[in-house]
């Protein structure tokens, strides 16, 4: 059912899965653990985020001072079905609609430079931000001229001013989204589907260690739970109805195979995977391990945990290697995709040219494989 949900999101370009606060917090903590100053003095841009809905906005506002942010920029998308429909930031404040220059349904730009306890109730919170936004002091809330598309000139100008992009972009536009971040040489932490690994826009970046997966893949066995706004939730998608951290009723859906993609460093990627020797794997294996491929000059390793510590040649492993990959331990040579494009002629058994879509063992076609080697010490 979960995959069906994602496919449906792809088909309809629905793309309206909202990230939970706790998932954002958990992931960011891993980067802070590795480098407590990672966000210090930085401009963070959330460019697919309606501040009234987005927990990214909420997280960065509430942790603005703790992280030492210089600025937080958030832009919303006009065509979003929830655009400006839920002014939870401002509660039931009736004065808002009267404020000149702030049309109700449009894309908005929020620039936060300061988060302090302006109502002096003893804590920094969203209410303080709302008050500052309304008064237009230090912080800024203005409508965008365009629709807030991340590819628009307006959004690109904001991107140029920022250091780190953190968001969950629309699934259907992931390729374009990551391509743009690379083109503008930005640091980022974004959510995408695991399948994006094989995209030709993404795989070379992983291979060259310019992009890697985030820290929290073990949570929920690689799935993530998202909030869907009541307005667009359908019964088939809903796993749970709950009250979220900001006291709002939300519908929860589960999406399989979701990962964080990033170029911010974290500790897990520098921990080598503990491995057995070839002989140990053979001893414990239920079926014959390490068969040679028919079409690649490599051996098949069907489980990442069975990668032998003492094999020097090329090994084909499942895509989940990226969850455990350490650049100090392995070298990534290619994937089925690269082989098919003829980028790795040395790895290909020439007799099989024309049938290189996937690895084959005894004429049996396998799932996507990543071709790796141990890094030379
Ligand atoms: C998967 S949702 C995630 C929303 C939010 N970032 C979060 O994680 O809670 C993707 C968001 O991107 C918005 N969006 C869709 N197309 C967009 C575009 N071309 N430019 C900017 N935002 C877009 C959608 O309206 C939606 O709110």
Convert the pLDDT of each residue in 230-252 to its tens digit.
777 776 778 888 888 777 788 89
Contact between 228 and 17 under an 8 Å Cβ cutoff? The reply is: yes
Helices 55-62 and 21-34, axial angle in degrees (round to 10):
50
Q: Over the chain, what is the mean pLDDT?
A: 85
pLDDT of the residue at 204: 93
- Ligand 1 lined by 39 (C-beta under 6 Å): no
Distance of CA 294 from the midpoint of ligand 1 (Å): 43
Residue 99 corresponds to which tokens in the numbers above? 């404020």
Pick the residue whose CA is nearest to atom 16 on ligand 1: 170
Whole-angstrom Cα distance, residue 180 to residue 170? 14
Strand order in the sheet with 299-300: 299-300, 315-317, 370-374, 330-335
Sign of CA dihedral 41, 84, 125, 227: negative
Task: Calculate how far, in angstroms, residue 287's C-alpha sits from the geometric centre of ligand 1.
Answer: 45
Closest C-alpha residue for ligand 1 atom 18 = 149
Q: Is the CB of 148 under 6 A from ligand 1?
A: yes
Listed residue (111, 170, 107) closest to 143, CA to CA: 107
Tens digits of per-residue pLDDT, 97-124?
433 444 446 898 999 998 877 777 777 6
Pocket test residue of 45, 154, 170, 172 for ligand 1, highest count of atoms within 8 A of CB: 170
Q: Find the length of the chain.
A: 377
Q: In this structure, how many other beta carbons lie within 10 angstroms of the beta carbon of residue 86?
A: 14
Tell me if 338 sits within 8 A of 296, measured CB to CB: no
- Cβ within 8 Å of residue 283, ≥6 positions away: none
Dihedrals φ, ψ of 372, to 5°? -130, 170
Query: For 17, which DSSP code?
Result: P
The answer to whether the CB of 168 is under 6 A from ligand 1 is yes
CB of 48 closer than 6 angstroms to any ligand 1 atom: yes
| Smallest CA separation from ligand 1 atom 13, residue | 48
| Residue closest to 342 by CA, chosen among 295, 274, 301, 277 | 295
> How many whole angstroms separate alpha carbon 67 and alpha carbon 124?
14
What's the pLDDT score for residue 12?
39
Measure 256 CA to ligand 1 centroid, in angstroms. Answer: 19
pLDDT in tens, 14-46: 577 899 999 999 999 999 999 999 999 999 999
* pLDDT, position 31: 98
| Probe target for ligand 1 pocket from 15, 165, 175, with the most ligand atoms within 8 Å of CB | 15
| CB 38 within 8 Å of CB 267 | no
Assess whether pLDDT exceeds 90 at residue 259.
yes
Distance, CA of 341 to CA of 30 (rounded, Å): 36
What are the angstrom distances between the C-alpha of 324 and each of 16, 85, 178, 191? Answer: 29, 41, 22, 17
pLDDT higher at 267 or 358 = 267
Q: Name every residue whose Cβ is closer than 8 Å to that of residue 359 and which is 6 or more positions away in sequence.
A: 293, 295, 296, 298, 300, 316, 336, 365, 366, 369
Q: State whether residue 109 is helix, strand or coil.
A: strand
């Amino acid at each position: 059912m979960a995959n069906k949900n994602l496919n449906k999101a792809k088909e309809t370009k629905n793309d309206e899965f909202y990230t939970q606060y706790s998932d954002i917090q958990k992931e960011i903590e891993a980067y802070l653990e590795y480098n407590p100053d990672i966000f210090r003095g930085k401009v963070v841009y959330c460019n697919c985020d309606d501040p009234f809905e987005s927990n990214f906005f909420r997280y960065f506002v509430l942790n603005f001072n703790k992280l030492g942010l210089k600025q937080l920029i958030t832009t919303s998308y006009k065509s979003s079905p929830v655009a400006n429909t839920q002014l939870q930031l401002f509660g039931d404040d009736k004065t808002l609609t009267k404020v000149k220059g702030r049309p109700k349904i449009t894309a908005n730009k929020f620039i936060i430079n300061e988060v302090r306890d302006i109502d002096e109730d003893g804590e920094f919170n969203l209410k303080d931000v709302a008050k500052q936004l309304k008064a237009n002091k230090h912080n800024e809330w203005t409508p965008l001229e365009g629709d807030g598309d991340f590819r628009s000139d307006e959004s690109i100008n904001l991107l140029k001013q920022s250091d780190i992009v953190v968001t969950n972009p629309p699934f259907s536009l992931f390729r374009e989204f990551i391509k743009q971040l690379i083109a503008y040489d930005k640091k980022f932490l974004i959510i995408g589907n695991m399948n994006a690994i094989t995209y030709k826009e993404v795989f070379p970046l992983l291979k060259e260690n310019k992009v890697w997966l985030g820290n929290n893949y073990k949570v929920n066995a690689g799935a993530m739970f998202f909030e869907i706004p009541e307005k667009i939730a359908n019964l088939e998608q809903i796993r749970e109805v709950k009250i979220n951290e900001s006291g709002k009723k939300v519908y929860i859906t589960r999406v399989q195979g979701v990962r964080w993609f990033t170029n911010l460093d974290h500790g897990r990627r520098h921990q080598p995977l503990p491995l057995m020797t070839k002989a140990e794997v053979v001893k414990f294996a239920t079926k014959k391990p390490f068969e040679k491929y028919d079409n690649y000059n490599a051996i098949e390793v069907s489980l990442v945990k069975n990668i032998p510590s003492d094999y020097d040649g090329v090994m084909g492993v499942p895509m989940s290697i990226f969850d455990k990959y350490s650049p100090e331990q392995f070298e990534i040579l290619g994937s089925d995709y690269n082989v098919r494009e003829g980028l790795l002629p040395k790895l290909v058994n020439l007799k099989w040219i024309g049938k290189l879509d996937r690895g084959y063992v005894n004429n049996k076609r396998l799932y996507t494989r990543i071709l790796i080697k141990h890094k030379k010490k």
